[in-house]
Structure 1
């Protein structure tokens, strides 16, 4: 009998769920809306009900499964299986997730930070699957990261390992939601790219569709910036170059500290592909120590939106095999 796993990727708007084999193949995947009303008190019950219903509809039994893993925003206590400070979920107080899910479903449950869990997914089945030392960076609404050393996630003494989004790339720069200034997150996240564009637009005097859009108050997204750059907009290319400079600098600092086999870039912004990868790699190489530059590669993630649920499956398996 194939031992099966349940993976949960909890996000601020959508929760993705999957049934997987113990070798990481997705058997069934689906998504539900994350209900953040009433201080997020419906989130975990909705997840439990959705899993139970999916089992019923697909003729699975609890006995087919060996464990559940979940990635979540916020500060995670892995031993207790609790989360606090996930503000996009309205979780301001400690949430006892492990207790609720284990009690309802009767399976061993493991919990970790969402960026760490997505990292496990790419490490298990994606762009990092051939190596034992890999760093993952997710460029989404924010910038997250995960560090895997000798096949194990690094958490640090207070869970702060892998906070690549809070590497300072511009001392005294844009104010970050974390309270400090000049964090990578403020320059290379989806919102950061737009912030860089708006900040630079006043200095640009040439013809540019991107500048026109900013001046006329049209909605500008990171996707638009990269699209226009791809299509020859000079100002959009300047913005992308700025963003990639900051990203390459931060990744060089990570490389100089850890010298991993690969640094893997994922998240929505990474959909820009080579338009992001090539200049980032150039600035990485300019700022990396030569032995690091010659051995650490920058790569794009491969799993897309499935990284979180696959990583959550991996987390469940590691928890059982401990």
Structure 2
């Protein structure tokens, strides 16, 4: 118990002195020193320089975690691009990249390609990689180990994809919905840092959402939490995703005989009447999703990610006002601080959340870890 408490406090407050650890966790300085010696022998902790002090006596020495003996990999596979990061034991990204997803590959070919890209990027660090987490653009059933609702990248629904992914990586591996990882990344290192209740809405080629309550991402048994794209809207019962995603916007425009070069044209200033009507339909559908997210977990913040959301920055205050009119209050609507890398960073954080307990970190501390040094 003392070892777990000391290591947890080191990760939470790094760099920190023995005295500060003893005061924080409520044990004697002698006990802390014994545990620190043990952690040092295990190669988990090392000493930094002594703290400059005007007082007499022995100057306190700061301690930190040895970060470069263990690495994790976070991957975010999208229909257009795949992003990945390699992070050390304290969550610092040592390498990252974004590459075009080869959607013409078979299920097992795509899995092999992902693993090859990551291994090449990790280079000599690969033997030290302890865990990998991969985000997918679909609903991940964690009980059955299956993926569904991934129309933009159907290869990931093929059981051979997950089998090949585990084989190709050759290290402990977990998969989850890409937006769940993106929200986790923003909670730990982004715009929702320190918020226990937050949500994320991803608008691009598809629609995905994630919710966090008490610092934990909600999953459910079948991975369907956050699949708000299936909500019917209006008398026609169109799915929300058919109105607010890139392909949906283009289909709506074609049905209305409106020429668009791309989905971004929908958000032009002072649009003509046919385009303005399409924008009204978009706004109504988006407010349905934002309302559902708000009443589902009462988040402090809703983060809007994905290519479509980049066109909505100037409209966020208007959406907040609409939510306030309907619900008497509104969460803050923001764009992701980590940009398109939120999912890959969050996947790496999830990997660390699997490594830390194996090292002895208290499980109930994971909601606040990792934490960058001051």
- Fold shared by both chains (TM-score > 0.5): yes
Pair 1:76-2:140 in alignment: yes
Unaligned segments of structure 1, at least 5 residues? 173-180, 202-213
Contact 2:143 2:221 in 1 (8 A): no
Contact 2:108 2:164 in 1 (8 A): no
Q: Deviations 1:67-103 (Å, cap 9, x if unpaired)?
A: 1111012342335655456444343531363x54555
Instruction: Provide the aligned length of Structure 1 versus Structure 2.
Output: 288
Corresponding position of 2:333: 298
TM-aligned CA deviation for residue 139 of structure 1: 0.6
Alignment of 1:204-223 (within 5 A): 214=258, 218-223=259-264
Q: Aligned in 2, Cα 1:255/1:79: closer, same or farther, shift over 3 Å?
A: same
| Alpha-carbon distance in structure 2 between the residues aligned to 1:274 and 1:55 | 35
Corresponding position of 2:192: 128
Match of 1:313 among 332, 343, 348: 348
TM-aligned CA deviation for residue 317 of structure 1: 1.6
Q: Deviations 1:138-182 (Å, cap 9, x if unpaired)?
A: 01111110011111111123211111222223242xxxxxxxx32
Q: Aligned in 2, Cα 1:4/1:287: closer, same or farther, shift over 3 Å?
A: same
Q: Aligned in 2, Cα 1:40/1:85: closer, same or farther, shift over 3 Å?
A: farther
| Alpha-carbon distance in structure 2 between the residues aligned to 1:70 and 1:22 | 18
Range that drifts further, 77-86 or 129-138: 77-86
Contact 2:79 2:101 in 1 (8 A): yes
TM-aligned CA deviation for residue 53 of structure 1: 2.2
Corresponding position of 2:369: none
Corresponding position of 2:44: none
Corresponding position of 1:182: 238
Corresponding position of 1:225: 266
Q: Aligned in 2, Cα 1:166/1:82: closer, same or farther, shift over 3 Å?
A: closer
Q: Aligned in 2, Cα 1:85/1:182: closer, same or farther, shift over 3 Å?
A: closer
Match of 2:112 among 21, 27, 45: 45
Contact 2:142 2:221 in 1 (8 A): no
Pair 1:29-2:64 in alignment: no
Alignment of 1:232-271 (within 5 A): 232-235=270-273, 236-271=275-310
Q: Greater Rg, structure 1 or structure 2? A: 2
| Alpha-carbon distance in structure 1 between the residues aligned to 2:107 and 2:166 | 19
| Alpha-carbon distance in structure 1 between the residues aligned to 2:75 and 2:228 | 23
| Alpha-carbon distance in structure 1 between the residues aligned to 2:201 and 2:149 | 21
Q: Give SS of 1:60's match.
A: helix
Corresponding position of 2:316: 277
Range that drifts further, 134-143 or 299-308: 299-308
Corresponding position of 1:208: none
Corresponding position of 1:17: 84
Corresponding position of 2:125: 60
Q: Aligned in 2, Cα 1:37/1:243: closer, same or farther, shift over 3 Å?
A: closer
Q: Give SS of 1:242's match.
A: helix
Contact 1:141 1:191 in 2 (8 A): yes
Pair 1:148-2:212 in alignment: yes
- Displaced runs of 4+ in structure 1, greater than 6 A? none
| Alpha-carbon distance in structure 2 between the residues aligned to 1:234 and 1:161 | 38
Backbone CA RMSD of aligned residues: 2.7
Q: Aligned in 2, Cα 1:240/1:24: closer, same or farther, shift over 3 Å?
A: farther
TM-aligned CA deviation for residue 234 of structure 1: 4.3
Unaligned segments of structure 2, at least 5 residues? 1-65, 358-374
Pair 1:192-2:248 in alignment: yes
Q: Aligned in 2, Cα 1:84/1:169: closer, same or farther, shift over 3 Å?
A: closer
Range that drifts further, 304-313 or 187-196: 187-196
| Alpha-carbon distance in structure 2 between the residues aligned to 1:276 and 1:191 | 21
| Alpha-carbon distance in structure 2 between the residues aligned to 1:142 and 1:245 | 17
Q: Give SS of 2:97's match.
A: strand
